[in-house]
Amino acid sequence: MDIHIFRDHDALDEHAANIITQQLLSVPESVLGMATGSTPIGLYNKLTEKHAAGQISFRQAFTFNLDEYVGLEKSHSQSYYEYMQKHLFRHIDIPTEHIRFPNGMAEDLEQECQRYNKMLAEQPIDVQLLGLGHNGHIGFNEPDEELVQETHVVQLEPSTRQANARFFESMDEVPTHAITMGVGSILKAKHILLIVKGEDKADIVYQALKGPITTQCPASLLQTHPRLTVFLDEQAGRRLQ
């Protein structure tokens, strides 16, 4: 595990963007695993800038997103698909048909999960970007007695719905379920880049990276990955220094 602690977000985002840039320069048809949430926005801005400056092209790249809410149209302002359009895809040259997303509106959600798993098996992820939930979740894999390996439907924890409620008009509108890649699918990525920012994540960062490997902290399973890079700001990395 390779841990880097950055003094400011700009440097962190720049270094994270450089990892993706290097990957695309060496393998233009790379498969990138994307995350949503507030953490990667700075990184996506950097990638947008690099693309505008002609330093990086996504024309041959493919992306898989970690998760999507069940019951929101793609075009809903809070769907993760729309998030990716807004923060990255609309600003770069990735062909729409190279963008892989779980369809949270599928009539048969089980079949949709199988479809996603099949695509993941056919196109293994080169670099998987991850954020970290306050309870140790990765994707929408919440703490539990057991974790599911592959893409599946999850019921969201009240704390996760609460954390996401800020983006919706009322708590009632926050979806109750999501489709997420499983921890097994995440761990199959060749390289994992975990980014965590903020004092409020300092304890969970410590538990995830230095605590016991347990399904009660899904991110702790990342300790078993042979190529894990962790980028933290000083606040999130406070307990590691």
Give contact residues for ligand F6R (rule: CB under 6 A).
35-39, 66-67, 131-133, 137-139
Non-local CB neighbours of 85 within 8 Å, separated by 6+ positions: none
Question: Can you state the angle between helices 41-52 and 80-87, rounded to 10 degrees?
Answer: 40
Locus of tokens 């347990």: 214
Pick 28 or 116: Cβ nearer ligand F6R: 116
9: left (phi over 0), alpha (psi -120 to 50) or beta: alpha
Residue 69 and residue 175 in contact, taking contact as beta carbons nearer than 8 Å: yes
Q: Is 137 a catalytic residue?
A: yes
Min CB(53)–ligand F6R separation in Å: 26
- Closest-CB residue for ligand F6R? 131
Catalytic member of 51, 87, 137, 225 = 137
Q: Is 91 a catalytic residue?
A: no
Min CB(40)–ligand F6R separation in Å: 7
* Tally: H helices and E strands in the chain: 7, 10
Pick 59 or 153: Cβ nearer ligand F6R: 153
Catalytic member of 13, 67, 68, 112 = 67
Min CB(147)–ligand F6R separation in Å: 14
Which residue type is seen at 160? Answer: T
CB environment 195-234: b (16+ within 10 A), e (fewer): bbbbeebbebbebbbebeeebebbbbbbeebeebbbbbbe
Catalytic member of 68, 126, 142, 233 = 142
Pick 91 or 134: Cβ nearer ligand F6R: 134
Q: Is 76 a catalytic residue?
A: no
Q: Is 67 a catalytic residue?
A: yes
Min CB(123)–ligand F6R separation in Å: 19
In 3D space, the residue among 99, 35, 25, 87 whose CA is nearest the CA of residue 62 turns out to be: 99
Pick 29 or 173: Cβ nearer ligand F6R: 173
Catalytic (active-site) positions: 67, 135, 137, 142
